[in-house]
Every structure is written in C-alpha cells, then in structure tokens.
C-alpha cells in the first residue's frame, strides 16, 4: 500500500508517521509538501500532527486552504481513507471534512500525558482490527483538543456511530476525570458519515513500538492496512 504523509509548514509528527508506515508496517509512504496538488497513486492519506502555520488565527484554519487540501477533498469524496492526527484532526474539522471543531482545553493547559482510549465503533477502516474491549494506551500532546459540536451534531455522531474513540479511565468508563481536555461526550476521535475520513487527538504514531512504552497505536494503522488490502484488492 502507498501512503501520503502531508507536510505543512509547522508539521512536526510527519517523520514519526512516515517511520511507522515504512519501518514498522513495511508499506511504502512518501512525504507530500502542502503545495502539491495531486494525490494520484496514493491509497491512503495521513495528515500528521504539529502546529501548521503556527496555529495562527485558529488551529488548522490556514492549512485547510493549502493546495494539497483541495486534492484531499477530492480523494475523500471518492472514498479514499484519510486519517488526521492531532493537528491533522483540527485541519479536517476546519476543512469541513469532519463535523464540529476543536477548541482550547477546558483547563487552559497544554496537556502532555498518556491517556486511555476506548474504541466506541469497530466498523470503520481505522478500528476494524482493534479487539473488542481493548483499551488503547496512547499519548496526547495538545492545547486545543476540546471537541465541540452543537447538540444536533452530537446526536448525529452518536446515532451514526461516528464516534470512534472516547477518553476513559483504566476501567474503561468515560468519566469526567478521565477527560483530559473537556471534550463533549469524552470524544477523542470521530469519522465522517461515509466513514472514510477520521481524526483523533491522541498520537498512535508515537505508540506503535514496544520500545516506546506502548504499541497500541499500531492497531489503528493495522486496521487501515487491513481495510485497504480488502478494498483496494476488491477495486483492482
């Protein structure tokens, strides 16, 4: 499989994502500068974390107008899988590819710690290989990760099973205490209606090898590869 890892001025998790795809998963991946305008030949897109455009104006607000994002819109509309991590999630929300927005953490603090993540829906290209009941131990590192959507948006996410991941405690319960940023309904990650575009605030690429303390993040990438192998093969 061939992955595109987008690079904006200020992206800083691009190399980590590239490393996981190439060296841990053993698939091909290429960094794609934001001024590129084609995704021809790629099977999946990863929008990595960082501080694109210095988070000026709002997180992700300026990056969404980069030329490559037009290609991402087309790619997503054609059913291609797109995964936004941290700043990538914020960019996808600003671009309207995912509903809602990510605002300043309730605590006003930049939170940098490991959290527990419950997978709330296993029927997506990003969660298919995560075992039922398995809690993911992943790091977060963000100042603007509080997920906000109006009541109608939240209802739609819930009924459409678009909430993919929630912050939980070690017992798997979505408590207020286990919510690091004040996200509504403890939302850590969601997908769009057609389920091919997803975003999450935690960093699976920083927890994909045991040497880093957790390899739980790899389950998300493996889910995506497995989905691609089924679906790209089907299309061929």
Partner 1 sequence: MLRENSEQLDLFFHVQFVNGRADFDYSAHIETLSLTESKSKLRNRASHGVQIITPGLISSRVSKKTGATRPLHPTSLSSIGMKAKIIVTPNRAVLDPQGKTVANALEQMGYKGIGAVLVGKYLEIELPAGDKESWRQQLDAACRKILSNPVIEDYHLEIEP
Q: Which of 86, 93, 146, 191 is catalytic?
A: 86
Task: State how beta strands 146-148 and 163-168 pair.
Answer: unpaired
Would you say 9 or 172 has its CB closer to partner 1? Answer: 9
Catalytic annotation on 19?
A: no
The torsion defined by the Cα of 29, 33, 36 and 38, in degrees rounded to 10, comes to 20
Q: Which residues bind partner 1 (CB under 8 A)?
A: 9-10, 33, 35, 57-58, 61-62, 65, 93-94, 100-101, 103-108, 146, 148-150, 182
The torsion defined by the Cα of 226, 231, 234 and 236, in degrees rounded to 10, comes to -100
Catalytic annotation on 203?
A: yes
In the complex, what is the shortest distance from the CB of residue 58 to partner 1, in angstroms, rounded to a whole number?
6
Output helix, strand, coil percentages for the chain, rounded to the nearest 5. Answer: 30, 25, 45
Would you say 123 or 150 has its CB closer to partner 1? Answer: 150
Q: Provide the phi-psi class of 137: left if phi over 0, else alpha when psi is between -120 and 50, else beta.
A: beta
Q: Which of 27, 93, 94, 205 is catalytic?
A: 205
In the complex, what is the shortest distance from the CB of residue 93 to partner 1, in angstroms, rounded to a whole number?
8
Would you say 104 or 137 has its CB closer to partner 1? Answer: 104
Active site residue ranges: 86, 203, 205
């Amino acid at each position: 499989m061939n992955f595109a890892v987008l690079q904006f001025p200020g992206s800083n998790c691009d190399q980590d994502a590239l490393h996981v795809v190439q060296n841990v998963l053993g698939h091909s991946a290429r960094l794609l500068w934001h001024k590129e305008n084609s995704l021809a030949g790629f099977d999946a897109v990863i929008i990595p974390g960082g501080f694109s455009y210095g988070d000026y104006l709002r997180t992700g607000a300026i990056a969404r107008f980069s030329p490559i994002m037009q290609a991402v819109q087309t790619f997503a509309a054609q059913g291609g899988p797109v995964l936004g991590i941290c700043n990538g999630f914020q960019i996808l929300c600003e671009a309207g590819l995912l509903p809602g927005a990510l605002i300043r953490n309730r605590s006003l603090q930049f939170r940098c710690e490991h959290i527990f993540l419950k997978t709330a829906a296993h029927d997506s290209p990003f969660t298919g290989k995560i075992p039922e009941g398995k809690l993911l131990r992943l790091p977060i590192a963000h100042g603007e990760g509080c997920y906000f959507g109006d009541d109608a948006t939240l209802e739609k996410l819930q009924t459409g099973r678009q909430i993919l991941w929630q912050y939980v405690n070690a017992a798997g319960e979505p408590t207020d205490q286990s919510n690091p940023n004040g996200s509504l309904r403890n939302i850590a990650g969601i997908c769009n209606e057609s389920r091919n575009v997803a975003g999450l605030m935690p960093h699976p690429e920083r927890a994909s090898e045991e040497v880093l303390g957790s390899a739980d993040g790899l389950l998300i990438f493996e889910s995506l590869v497995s989905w691609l192998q089924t679906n790209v093969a089907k299309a061929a």
